[in-house]
Structure 1
């Protein structure tokens, strides 16, 4: 796969949180639906095709800080030729406009395939993010199982809102947002293929699933969640079932689930072998059809000394073959993870949804648990002295594992352990200040934090790095994401000025405000569908579908360098002190996810050990120093103004 094409695909693997919340003047909120969700969906506008000239001019601005003057002149010539009257650019623009007229969203089907189903690298680390819930402290096995039961019932409570279509409609400012992703995250599973995967939405079928699958010591159990009378199980009933699971799986078995961590082509071939056995096929289908997946893990393997980082790694890759990667099924959209000592979270397969629906599910569960909503029903049953409901005990899902599959498992272990060894993370709570201070300076919190990330990178590497931040385009029907290119001429000038010992406080503050404003304007364009990357991708795919040569623009150094996103970032606002984490987009890059709070910011950063240039702990130090420097110049500037 060509580098530029690979990176375009990888850009789809981030969450769409940033730009969705607080990246422009509008702010995210949820409102109770005043109309039916169907009526709401039908009223949404269609994703626009931006004017070609506007996109190319914006593209040149994003390329300039990343190339030499000579390289930029060549890029300008290529862009000029691409945009010439009657040229290839205009031909492709017309094809894209025709596609937009015939579809509800000209990008959505292409995006599912290009960003996810055609993507052949493992979903672990390279695609699926981890979402760490507020850390817990479990002293006993029953503490762990009790919390798991509450998570399960809380998730089913949210599912009822989805089933009843009473989930609040999201909006950003005055814009109502597309809600289709909410109805695709439960009962959904990715299916491996030899060259392209597929995805099945069981939750939207005429016969939706009524069960979940729970894993413990690599054993899988199917648990019906609605009892014989069709009513959802209570907390105590779920807890009873989980105890039964643990009692019947005291020793580890073959880690069949580790196959889902493999390269997608390799897993696709192994999947065909595995399903040839009828017993295996039935067990796989029960997993795929489940509402969601729950992994009951043991204690952290190879702890780092940082509980936040330990929980993040548990959610991202399960600590490999010596940990709990076999106690998973990474093709499931939602996998809740409940560690023995209190590490709690989820990992999700990214194809059907961006982050906001997942975050709202998490927030609902955490609130459900914290407010004790589950206790009323259990207490009422006890007071009425209702007889115990007879439950079918959890059904063990069996696998016949021959020598060929055993070898596939061993190969998967080796491949995953290499990836686990390579990924290093540093997760931390920054307590210097939070969004309250940033807002007091009349600055956009997200843009401010993005500039801090830019400054941290420049502080370490003495040069700018292409910088990806995802923006949600859900104001349009079936909208997914657009790229905010956070590296700009303004951000580079800001970084240089901040690190210049001879620059005055006023000069530093002025450069900061200009950089923040530049980012804010780009973010605003991106959430309205007027970024650079998705339009260029659409033009490229038009050429490929028409059997044309890929235009020179996509092979130019300007395009390749500006698409090599050394910084992959997302904002993940949550009501609780949760945070998201993921691997870098490129081998010599960083991942940086953050949850901004009024008086603090929760960060999850990552890098690869195989890159001699990057280190997440070094990045953390540079980021904290950059944040405090930005804070201090604003305070000094304010004091100076008062004198």
Structure 2
């Protein structure tokens, strides 16, 4: 307006021509120009973001670098690495690259059947392998092609066409024990021991986990990358790292996720305690955590009826071995949650 130049090459004027009549009446020519410039800059900003994400997605779809040694890179891979560094520079948030990661490709049905036959060959006799080859060819020409089309259709909108099936049928429908097979745990083992007081170590551990959870929620963690490269890895596993539990069911379990949790569970001598970690919206200090844990250690109350045996249900299979009936075991699954075990 003041420099008498139009960086939009006439687009702002075209936007101004298509403004509603009410806007023309209510705004002055100067106000109309400012509104059109704002609309143009917003559209330009969105276009640049989408172009950047699409370009990054195309670059991340290049896989030839996996099969080249570091000392004998092709010129194509070197140019690709340079462009990838330019587009992925800056200070990205934890989930910044999620929309730019390429979708998991669907393998060709011929390749899948070939790998399957190769894997079962040592397990079958010549006659059985010949029969299996005929079944594979029959499957490919009939049902296989139809299922392949469905799979490709799903891969168009799903970033990973197999992740939801894997979670349900391999993880949630598994009837094996939760302990060892699914649960993970953390220990405060360090080469430097600042204190031998059990309550203080527990307070430090709880505080460290909650501070890490805060970084996850605020996306302050740097995205994981392939070691030695700038290639980002998927960060979907961080979304339900905390505040998530697995509710048992007869045939399949259900994952429940909460946006926030204000307490942790503490197990001590057969008793479960709820330890609050916030006060008036403020995270408790390690010293305040230690004070609460110490009160639990000093508590001499007896467990409630059956409370000290709840842990045995987590260690068993999710069915009644005698009757053979599927039963939901009353487990407290610490998968993706915080649990402090004070002995």
TM-score (ref. length: structure 2):
0.62
Q: Distance in 2 between matches of 1:134 and 1:32?
A: 35
Secondary structure in 2 aligned to 1:171?
A: coil
Q: Distance in 2 between matches of 1:54 and 1:152?
A: 48
Q: Distance in 1 between matches of 2:126 and 2:338?
A: 48
Contact (CA 8 Å) 2:92, 2:223: kept in 1 or not?
A: no
In the TM superposition, residue 129 of structure 1 has moved relative to its aligned partner by: 5.2
**Compared CA separation, residues 35 and 331, structure 1 to 2 (3 A):** closer
Q: Distance in 2 between matches of 1:106 and 1:336?
A: 33
Secondary structure in 2 aligned to 1:223?
A: strand
Contact (CA 8 Å) 1:210, 1:224: kept in 2 or not?
A: yes
Contact (CA 8 Å) 1:33, 1:168: kept in 2 or not?
A: no
Secondary structure in 1 aligned to 2:251?
A: coil
Superposed counterparts of 1:549-628, under 5 Å: none
- Aligned partner of 2:119 in structure 1 is 62
Contact (CA 8 Å) 1:83, 1:90: kept in 2 or not?
A: yes
**Compared CA separation, residues 33 and 164, structure 1 to 2 (3 A):** farther
- Aligned partner of 2:17 in structure 1 is none
- Aligned partner of 1:330 in structure 2 is 333
Deviations 1:4-41 (A, max 9, x none): xxxxxxxxxxxxxxxxxxx98799xxx99733445421
- Aligned partner of 2:168 in structure 1 is 113
Residue among 155, 158, 164 paired with 2:209: 155
Q: Distance in 2 between matches of 1:265 and 1:38?
A: 39
Secondary structure in 1 aligned to 2:118?
A: helix
**Compared CA separation, residues 221 and 178, structure 1 to 2 (3 A):** same
Superposed counterparts of 1:528-547, under 5 Å: none
Q: Which has the larger radius of gyration?
A: 2
Q: Distance in 2 between matches of 1:226 and 1:26?
A: 51
Query: Which residues of structure 2 form unaligned runs of 5+?
Result: 1-65, 71-87, 321-325
Residue among 92, 96, 115 paired with 1:35: 92
Q: Distance in 2 between matches of 1:25 and 1:234?
A: 50
Deviations 1:401-444 (A, max 9, x none): xxxxxxxxxxxxxxxxxxxxxxxxxxxxxxxxxxxxxxxxxxxx
- Aligned partner of 1:90 in structure 2 is 145
- Aligned partner of 2:155 in structure 1 is 100
Q: Distance in 1 between matches of 2:68 and 2:312?
A: 44
Q: Distance in 2 between matches of 1:155 and 1:79?
A: 50
In the TM superposition, residue 45 of structure 1 has moved relative to its aligned partner by: 1.4
Residue among 236, 240, 243 paired with 2:294: 243
Residue among 195, 217, 233 paired with 2:284: 233
**Compared CA separation, residues 147 and 32, structure 1 to 2 (3 A):** farther
- Aligned partner of 2:232 in structure 1 is 176
Q: Distance in 2 between matches of 1:199 and 1:214?
A: 21
**Compared CA separation, residues 337 and 232, structure 1 to 2 (3 A):** closer
**Compared CA separation, residues 143 and 36, structure 1 to 2 (3 A):** closer
In the TM superposition, residue 83 of structure 1 has moved relative to its aligned partner by: 2.2
- Aligned partner of 1:261 in structure 2 is 315
Contact (CA 8 Å) 2:95, 2:223: kept in 1 or not?
A: no
**Compared CA separation, residues 249 and 164, structure 1 to 2 (3 A):** farther
In the TM superposition, residue 339 of structure 1 has moved relative to its aligned partner by: 6.5
Q: Distance in 2 between matches of 1:56 and 1:132?
A: 44
Residue among 78, 82, 86 paired with 2:135: 78
Query: Which residues of structure 1 form unaligned runs of 5+?
Result: 1-22, 272-327, 341-643
Q: Distance in 1 between matches of 2:231 and 2:200?
A: 40
Bigger strand share: 1
Secondary structure in 2 aligned to 1:176?
A: coil
**Compared CA separation, residues 25 and 192, structure 1 to 2 (3 A):** farther
Residue 145 (str. 1) matches residue 195 (str. 2)? no
Residue among 245, 249, 264 paired with 1:189: 245
Contact (CA 8 Å) 1:118, 1:195: kept in 2 or not?
A: yes
Bigger RCO (CA 8 Å, 6+ sep) = 1
Contact (CA 8 Å) 1:145, 1:242: kept in 2 or not?
A: yes
Contact (CA 8 Å) 1:44, 1:178: kept in 2 or not?
A: yes
Contact (CA 8 Å) 1:258, 1:329: kept in 2 or not?
A: no
TM-score (ref. length: structure 1):
0.35
Q: Distance in 2 between matches of 1:216 and 1:333?
A: 21
Secondary structure in 2 aligned to 1:83?
A: helix
Secondary structure in 2 aligned to 1:184?
A: coil
In the TM superposition, residue 251 of structure 1 has moved relative to its aligned partner by: 4.9
Residue 51 (str. 1) matches residue 108 (str. 2)? yes
Q: Distance in 1 between matches of 2:275 and 2:339?
A: 15
Secondary structure in 1 aligned to 2:197?
A: helix
In the TM superposition, residue 147 of structure 1 has moved relative to its aligned partner by: 1.8
**Compared CA separation, residues 137 and 43, structure 1 to 2 (3 A):** closer
Contact (CA 8 Å) 2:314, 2:329: kept in 1 or not?
A: no
Contact (CA 8 Å) 1:217, 1:250: kept in 2 or not?
A: no
- Aligned partner of 1:305 in structure 2 is none
- Aligned partner of 1:517 in structure 2 is none
Q: Distance in 2 between matches of 1:75 and 1:250?
A: 64
Secondary structure in 1 aligned to 2:215?
A: helix
- Aligned partner of 2:179 in structure 1 is 124
Q: Distance in 2 between matches of 1:129 and 1:62?
A: 31
In the TM superposition, residue 236 of structure 1 has moved relative to its aligned partner by: 1.4
In the TM superposition, residue 250 of structure 1 has moved relative to its aligned partner by: 6.1
Contact (CA 8 Å) 1:33, 1:166: kept in 2 or not?
A: no
Q: Distance in 2 between matches of 1:168 and 1:214?
A: 31
